Structure 1
Amino acid sequence: MTAGTSDGAGRPPRADARRNRAKLLDVAAEVFATRGTDASLDEIAKRAGVGPGTLYRHFPTRQDLLVALLRDSVDALAVQAAELLAAPSPGAALTTWLEAVARHARTYRGLAGVLITTGQGPASNVLAVCHHDMRAAGAALVERAKDADAVRRDVELDEVFQLVNAVALAGDQDDDPTRHTRRLLTLVLEGLRPR
């Protein structure tokens, strides 16, 4: 069975298998956020309330688990960006999304490096797709904010992502990373506004 998508015979996974996969991903996200991407997989299985065999049936390798986490997180960010395109204030919508991107960057820091060091193949493909999806989601929000004069016309999308990643890194150094990240992001966004 591959990552909970089918049972090999083309049938969708059973409800308990879907629940186990979701629980494993939730717990893995928490554990990796606090202990890093080299945290014990057995501990993740135990905290999820399943045996190691169940974890390895869903995610045969650490890389498979990391790829699934990254893909789920980027998918959620893309969905949020699409929903925010309908928000009444383009500037506030961009701010909300960039706060979520900063949380993502803090949680998954080092993940891309771990996947890249494993070489080419599915992980590299997932990283490329995730990068593309993040750029597409961010581009639409930035352009909408520019059109509303909430962001300067000369601001480049790559600059926005670099600034958000720097904010996330700085936020990690504070006792209250969420508060610190929000404050720094507010200062950054003020700098992006037209004068």
Structure 2
Amino acid sequence: MQSLRADARRNRARILETARAQIIAHGPDVGMSEIASAAGLAVGTLYRHYPTKTDLVAAVITEQVERLAEAAEAAWVRVETGSTASDELLVFLRGVIGAAADNGALRVAAQTLGTEFACPPATARGTAALRKIIAAGQDSGNIRRDLTVTDLYLLVATGPLDHPEQTRERWLELVSPGLLP
């Protein structure tokens, strides 16, 4: 696969960030022309990169999953360099819940459009980093012995995503004892 020119890469990044912001601000019905205009690009440029809105929403979600994988990997690096695994796990969870809450309109857009997306490499990287963090915390005794990555995914999936930050913070405060011994 041929790599994109620098201007095409910049356009893609601008489109994805603008699409995310426009969907969050205006809901899942925001038009492709509004997204292109907000990105400062011709609508043809948008369609050249993403032929349908479904393709665009899938790309935005894929990028968000990539960011979460990067956050998990960064948390693991901090654990490797001396940070406490339990602290990093809680910071990561706070970030995931916050991002999921911020991206609620993206979830609605994906459901409305029937968007299918797969991010196996990013998901695998994030899962691997979380497994390492959990194992390090279990070895040091500051994460409960039976905690798994699947447990974390369950917590996030059932978290208070449609509630204000204060409620999400209270949720994290309440679930933390279930993560730590």
TM over 0.5: yes
| Residues in 2 aligned to 1:187 and 1:41: alpha-carbon distance in whole angstroms | 41
Aligned CA distance change for structure 1 residues 48 and 98 (closer, same or farther; 3 Å): same
Q: Counterpart of 2:167?
A: 180
1:99 equivalent in alignment to 2:99: no
Aligned CA distance change for structure 1 residues 128 and 43 (closer, same or farther; 3 Å): same
- Summarize the alignment of residues 24-173 of structure 1 with structure 2, pairs less than 5 Å apart: 24-87=15-78, 88-106=83-101, 107=103, 108-110=106-108, 113=111, 117=114, 123-124=116-117, 126-127=118-119, 131-169=123-161, 172-173=162-163
Q: Compare relative contact order (CA 8 Å, sep 6+) and give the higher one, 1 or 2.
A: 2
CA RMSD of aligned residues (A): 2.5
The answer for unaligned runs of 5 or more in structure 1 is 1-5
Of 31-40 and 92-101, the range deviating more from structure 2: 31-40
| Residues in 1 aligned to 2:10 and 2:64: alpha-carbon distance in whole angstroms | 17
| Residues in 2 aligned to 1:86 and 1:130: alpha-carbon distance in whole angstroms | 16
Look up the equivalent residue of 1:94 and give its one-letter code.
Answer: L
CA-CA distance at 1:114 after TM superposition: 5.0
Look up the equivalent residue of 2:53 and give its one-letter code.
Answer: R
CA-CA distance at 1:44 after TM superposition: 1.0
CA-CA distance at 1:134 after TM superposition: 4.2
| Residues in 2 aligned to 1:41 and 1:143: alpha-carbon distance in whole angstroms | 44
Q: Between the two proteins, what is the percent identity of the paired residues?
A: 34
TM-score (norm 1): 0.75
| Residues in 1 aligned to 2:27 and 2:137: alpha-carbon distance in whole angstroms | 35
CA-CA distance at 1:59 after TM superposition: 0.8
CA-CA distance at 1:128 after TM superposition: 5.2
| Residues in 1 aligned to 2:27 and 2:126: alpha-carbon distance in whole angstroms | 23
Contact 1:24–1:48 (8 Å) recurs in 2: yes
| Residues in 2 aligned to 1:31 and 1:90: alpha-carbon distance in whole angstroms | 36
Contact 1:105–1:165 (8 Å) recurs in 2: no
Question: Secondary structure of the residue that 2:133 maps to in structure 1?
Answer: helix
TM-score (norm 2): 0.80
Question: Secondary structure of the residue that 1:85 maps to in structure 2?
Answer: helix
